[in-house]
Each structure stands twice: as structure tokens, then as C-alpha cells.
Chains A and B, each alone.
Chain A
């Protein structure tokens, strides 16, 4: 056998995610979908207030230091030395292997105070176990953290607005409203997830949420695009059937893209290290939420908003809907 014939079977797709003739009546489950989403989002809002987000030092300010002691870390000694320098002892923790120490302190009232605290921690470490190396220092003063928080929120808010305007500009307003309401629901869930998992909420997380926003919008746009196309193609099909048809037609793509992004983010969650794994888990969660919300939230909202508007000439119920020639 030649190489060509050997490779022939590889030419064709080996698997399909869903068969081509899949016709799931998603709109039948619209109330269930909306209810579930509403419950999850409400729970997320509650989680946002209690226990609240675990703000990282980007946003809360404070000091995080990581040190490597020459031998195994002697915590009694370290804590004593910290206390002698006037550093809160409970901030000293073990971190990873036995010679790694993490020091975590909240923001000091003044910027200079924060810097003095960093110097004190360094001095205490050196004094308790000479030769200790500080391998990471993050010290963010109160004014900077407040600014970073403000900017992060601004980035989120403006992105949402721009997405709203873009979709508004490209589609009818019902689509834009449907998309943005869904996005808000998605983002609240991501925040609930953050509150629940206690991942630190910092600038990188804003990046994750923005990526989820972008990804989720992208998903909605594809489904909406198909709906718009089908609205032109099937002039008399009831909106509900048309939405179902559009979702089914794009289902392979919706799931396919979700999977590739999911597969790309998965290694980050598993071996991205402490700096990225939280980010990646939130991404993974966001991908699942964003994909399901395209189907179960964005589409039903469009159905409610567009019932009598997007389709003025809808055939009266009872009359058979004639399929227009494609």
C-alpha cells in the first residue's frame, strides 16, 4: 500500500460532535434555561456580597512576599523575628515545599508605611535565618490599588458598552439587548464562581472575564448571524422554530469552538502554576457558561423580544408555515 492510500482515511473527519440532522427543540427548554440562569446569577450576586470576592493585592493593596530559607524553614523563629520587628505573625505561612515561606500582609495606611513594612519583613527574615532569599515581593500601596480597581472596572464597563454598540450597529436592537443581558448574566456567574472558589480577584482575572466576554459574544454573534440569515431565507417560519433551526445548524460549530478554546485553556489550569491556574479555571468555567448561555439564554431572550417585531408577517398560528424556496 502506498502512503497515499494509507493516509486516505485521515483525509475525512473521523468524528462529528453532533450528527448533521440534529433537531433539538431548545426553545422548549427556554423557561428551564432562564430559570436556572436566574437562580445561578442570583446566587452569584449573593456570593459576591457574602463572602465576597477574595481581592488580590492588585485591588486590595498590601504585601505578598515569598522567600526561600537556606534549610527547612523554622516558623517559630521566623514568627518571633517578625514579632520583634512589629510584623503581624499570622501573615507568615508555609508555601509549597518546606523551605518556602509566604508572607502576606494587608495594606498599610500610608505608602511609606507599606515600604517600611517590606523592609522590616526582609530584616526579620535575614535575622531569623541568615541567607534567606526573598524571591518575590509584591507591595501595592492603597492609592495604586484603588486606581487599578477603578481602571479594571472601567475596562469591563466600557467593553460591555462597546459590545452593545457593535452588536446594535450590526444587528437589530433586539439582538444587542439579548446579547448584553446574556453577557451580564455570564459575568455575574463568573464572579460567583470566583467568590466560591476563593481565587484571587486581580488584574489578570479582569483579563479572564474580558476574554470570557469576548468569547461569549463571539458565540452569540455566530448564532445570531445564522438567525438573521434564516430570517431572510425562511420568510414565514415561526420565530421559535427558526431559532431552534439556527441553533441546531450552528451546533457543531458552537461546540467545536468551545472545545478548542477549552482544550487550549486546560493545560494552563493544570500546569500553569499558581499565577495562571486561577485565571485558567475561570476561563474554563466561562467557556461552559458562555456556550450554554448562547443556546439557553440569548436565544430565548431574542424569542421574547422579537416575537412580534422581527417577524411582522408571521403566519397566524394554525396556518401551516410554508417554507420559502431557499
Chain B
């Protein structure tokens, strides 16, 4: 017991000092940029802000994929000389079905579809994404394979995260955090944003913009649109519809820039955009070939503007003049700059807290922490005397180390996390109570002071490990299965249990050894 080596002493003290140093960044600004200045982050429930959980609509991803596949199949069949066929996407079964009504062209059709599959398989068909099945009656099905489906979903979520980040960055929110959660969810944390309405609106649009020709020869008031034409609602006139060709001439993905501005003549709000080189060329070709005709600018299946082409537009620049005000023009330009989402996003969970509620929570947490700490310290002093004070010093060291570890990992402190710190403090002294009671018993059993301390520590230690291990396990589970602020609770408690094992045994042991070395003749104050 007494041979507490110098090295060990230095290590114990050193750990505590290091812990104290690691706590500093929470109190002071970084003195130099090269210093690793890591701090605890306040959770949104304490600092105020918004938490949004978004879900990527996977059905839409699949539907879109099947639609484009069906389009490709139609083109391929037509090119192969098949004229009478019916291709239908079946999203529920992840496949498209093709019925060929010309029995003599079945082979040509099969070849065309096989070619389509080869073209759609990355890596030269080494690993197929699609599977072609032929039925006896001359119908084909092309199925999206599960692996490909998963990959596609994965890519859609990744891309969504990127777009979400760009859109949020455009709004100027400071320090947003965007992360994937699980298969198809995205967590967005916006510190300091009390009303996330604008962000929700920005994220609620897929913002897929397309430039297509208006089918001027089609009456949009008939009940079923002819093949290749969509009837889309006209944003300018409520209830009106415009017949628009399904073929996309230029896609919004070919935009390089979009800015809100005001038309110099009318003063109306407009969005000015610039195409990239591919977009410029296509737009020039289309406009040259269609002077005098109308084209439609379609955003998320709504026509925002359908102007008449007066002359060929070759500069790669254009202007959208819908019925905008300053805000909607800015929002549209943000959406166009950030790009289209691969699939619609739905907000499935929202939690917003105003900064003053957060401040209230911090105050309540800090008060509870202070009062609880004082109560525990007084209890230990009254019931355990000097050894209780040793435990109290260890308790403070535990608090310091806990904060140090949380800072080191840049953990997030939440209100339940503060409760966790407090409970940790209450439970940490358990180890000292165990040790003290044990030493007292050993003294009563007639052991000499040194022997009693030695035995007390040794015997109590197994119990301390056992009792902490179970609590540790329970809270690790809470961390893995919990969500939101309650994970902060699990974090502080698990870290607190770990640090308390060190302070309550090693540090207190050091104190006792030092004390005994100076007071050999006295009976133990237990």
C-alpha cells in the first residue's frame, strides 16, 4: 500500500493536471491557432436551434429510375424496328414490363433490351444491375436487382446530403451540421435557428428544372394527354394547364449560375441564369429551330413561365420572369444554384428551441448541478470525516476529468447530459463509501491501520468493478438505441463512470497513503 511509486504518483497527478488543462478551452478563447483547442459543444436544447430529420423518398427514386428505364426501352425498341409494343413501369415490383405485339420481331426486341441492359451495367456488364426475363407469350420484364437498388438509394441519399448542404449554406446559417442517419434519413442541425420555416421550404422542393417545348397543337383541356405530352399546371394562372412535351430539351443540371434580379424596364423580379457549355449549345439549337414557338420552364412539374422564343438565344444566358417577388425570386435562384434533389425530402421530425429557453435550461441545469454537488459534499464530510473530504476532492477531480474527456471528444452537452453529470457525481462517491466502510470494518476486526487500508481497498475494488460494470452496460445500450438529447445523458454517465473509477480509487488511495505517511501514529479516522 505504501509503496506508491513516484512514477505512479506522477501519473495520477499528471492525469489530473492534464485533465484540468483540457478543460481550459471551454473557458478561454484559443490563444494560438496551432493549439488543439477542443471544447464541449452545447446541444441544440441548450443553445437554441433547430433539428430536422429528413427522409428521402426512396419510392420516388425507384419510380424515376424505372421511368427513365422505360423511356430508354421504348427508344431502343423503336430503333430496333419494333413499332407495336407497350412498356409499363411497375414500381411496386421494381421492374418494367414490355409487351411486344409483333410476333416476328421478338428476337429483335430481345436483342434491343439486352443491349439496353449492357449499356446500363457499369463495368462492362461484369456486374449486372438489371435482369431480363422472357415469358413465353412474348413479354419481357426488366428487373432492378436488389444490389443495384441499394446502391442507387445510397447514391440518392449521398447526393441529397450534398444538395441539402449547398442549399443551407446559401442561407447563411452558421455552423450547420448535416449528417446521414440510417438507410434513408438525413439529420440537419441548425444552431441558432429558432424558426426553420424558410429552410424547410427550401428543402421541401426537389427543384428539378427543365426546359421543354410547349405542345401548341394539343388542347390541354381534353381529359387524357396524348403520348409524349404532359398537362402541367400553369403557375401564372391558377387552375390553368399547359400541354408540354415530355421530352426534356435542356435540364436544370446544365445551369452554372442563377441570380435574382430586377428587370430594368418593368422592375419585376426575375431570375437570371447562365448555362454551362453543353446547356448553351443545346439551348441555342433549340431556340434557333423554334423561333416563334413557346417553350416552357418547368419546375417540379409546374410551369413557371412559358414565353415565346423571339430569336435564337446563343449566349447561354436567360431570364425567367414568372410572378416573383423578391423572396420567391431569391429562393428560386438559391434552389437553382444548389441543384435538384434526386428525390423529394419529407420532414419526419422537427425540434426547435428558442435561445431563451435554452438559456433557461442551462440555468436550471447549472443550479441543480451546484446544489447537488454541495449536498453530496456535505454528506460525505458529515458521514466520513477526513476520508470523506478525500472523496470530495476526488469528486471534483472526477468532474474535471469528465469535462476533459467530453472536450477531447468534442462531445455534445445536452440538458439530460447535465442530469447525467449530476447523477454520476452522486454515484461516484459510492466507490469511496464502499472503501471507507470496508476499512472501518477491517479496523474493527482488529487490523492495523495500514493493513486495514490495504485490505479495504483490495476487497472493495472487486465490488466497485462489478457494480459499475452493469451500470456501464445499461448506458451503452442507451447510447446505441437512444436518439437526440438522451444520448447526451448516456455519454456523460458512461464517461463519468469510467473517470470515477480512476479518481475514486487511484486518487483517493494516493491521498490516504500520503496522509498515513505523515500521521503514522494516529488511529484511522473512520
Which of B92-100, B110-118, B462-470 touches A?
B462-470
* CB 8 Å contact bits of B178-198 with A (1 = contact, 0 = none): 000000000000000011010
The answer to whether A265 touches B348 (Cβ under 8 A) is no
The answer to whether A214 touches B380 (Cβ under 8 A) is no
The number of residue pairs between A and B whose CB atoms lie closer than 8 Å in the complex comes to 255
The answer to whether A260 touches B379 (Cβ under 8 A) is yes
Residues of A within 8 A of B425 (CB): 264
Q: How far is the CA of A148 from the CA of B485 in the complex (A)?
A: 13
The answer to whether A112 touches B346 (Cβ under 8 A) is yes
The answer to whether A267 touches B368 (Cβ under 8 A) is yes
Q: Out of A10, A261, A262, A275, which one reaches B415, CB within 8 Å?
A: A275
Q: Out of B375, B388, B440, B483, which one reaches A263, CB within 8 Å?
A: B375
Q: Is residue B422 within 8 Å, beta carbon to beta carbon, of the partner chain?
A: yes
Which of A76-84, A158-166, A297-305 touches B?
A158-166
Residues of B within 8 A of A218 (CB): 427, 430, 467-468, 470-471
Q: How far is the CA of A155 from the CA of B433 in the complex (A)?
A: 30
Q: Which of A7-24 contact B (CB under 8 A)?
A: 10-17, 20
The answer to whether A162 touches B351 (Cβ under 8 A) is no
Chain A interface extent, by class = 35 or more
Q: Out of A17, A141, A214, which one reaches B348, CB within 8 Å?
A: A141
Q: How far is the CA of A279 from the CA of B195 in the complex (A)?
A: 28
Distance (Å) between the CB of A110 and the closest chain B CB? 9
Q: How far is the CA of A146 from the CA of B425 in the complex (A)?
A: 34
Chain B interface extent, by class = 35 or more
The answer to whether A207 touches B352 (Cβ under 8 A) is no
The answer to whether A253 touches B433 (Cβ under 8 A) is yes
Q: Out of B357, B385, B419, B481, which one reaches A155, CB within 8 Å?
A: B481
Q: Which of A155-204 contact B (CB under 8 A)?
A: 155, 158-159, 162-163, 166-167, 170, 203-204
Q: Which of A84-142 contact B (CB under 8 A)?
A: 111-112, 115, 118-119, 122, 133-141
Given contacts A13-B385, A214-B470, whether A271 and B195 have CB atoms under 8 Å apart is: no
Q: Which of B378-409 contact A (CB under 8 A)?
A: 379-386, 388
Given contacts A140-B349, A203-B483, A204-B489, whether A14 and B383 have CB atoms under 8 Å apart is: yes
Q: Is residue A314 within 8 Å, beta carbon to beta carbon, of the partner chain?
A: no
Residues of A within 8 A of B482 (CB): 151-152, 155, 203, 206-207
Residues of B within 8 A of A249 (CB): 441
Distance (Å) between the CB of B257 and the closest chain A CB? 31
The answer to whether B380 touches A10 (Cβ under 8 A) is no
Residues of A within 8 A of B473 (CB): 159, 162-163, 166, 214
Q: Out of B200, B368, B415, which one reaches A115, CB within 8 Å?
A: B200
The answer to whether B419 touches A276 (Cβ under 8 A) is yes
The answer to whether B474 touches A159 (Cβ under 8 A) is yes
The answer to whether B422 touches A273 (Cβ under 8 A) is no
Q: Is residue B213 within 8 Å, beta carbon to beta carbon, of the partner chain?
A: no
The answer to whether A263 touches B466 (Cβ under 8 A) is no
* CB 8 Å contact bits of A248-273 with B (1 = contact, 0 = none): 01101100110111111111101111
Q: Is residue A211 within 8 Å, beta carbon to beta carbon, of the partner chain?
A: yes
Q: How far is the CA of A272 from the CA of B363 in the complex (A)?
A: 9
Distance (Å) between the CB of A179 and the closest chain B CB? 9
In the complex, residue of chain A having the shortest beta-carbon distance to the beta carbon of B368: A267
Q: How far is the CA of A264 from the CA of B424 in the complex (A)?
A: 9
The answer to whether A141 touches B349 (Cβ under 8 A) is yes
Interface centre among A148, A159, A264 (most CB of B within 10 A): A264
The answer to whether B55 touches A256 (Cβ under 8 A) is no
In the complex, residue of chain B having the shortest beta-carbon distance to the beta carbon of A110: B346
Q: Is residue B286 within 8 Å, beta carbon to beta carbon, of the partner chain?
A: no
The answer to whether A11 touches B383 (Cβ under 8 A) is no
Q: Is residue A66 within 8 Å, beta carbon to beta carbon, of the partner chain?
A: yes
Q: A12-B386, A115-B346 are in contact. List 6 more A-B contacts (CB 8 A).
A: A118-B350, A135-B357, A219-B467, A263-B375, A267-B368, A273-B364
| Interface pairs (15), CB distance under 8 Å | A12-B385, A13-B526, A20-B440, A136-B357, A137-B350, A138-B350, A204-B416, A204-B489, A210-B475, A214-B475, A217-B467, A218-B470, A222-B463, A267-B372, A276-B364
Q: Top 6 closest A-B pairs, CB basis?
A: A264-B426, A214-B471, A135-B354, A155-B481, A218-B467, A267-B371
Please report A residues at the B interface, Cβ cutoff 8 Å.
10-17, 20, 66, 111-112, 115, 118-119, 122, 133-141, 143-144, 148, 151-152, 154-155, 158-159, 162-163, 166-167, 170, 203-204, 206-207, 210-211, 213-215, 217-219, 221-222, 225, 229, 249-250, 252-253, 256-257, 259-268, 270-273, 275-276, 279-280, 283, 326
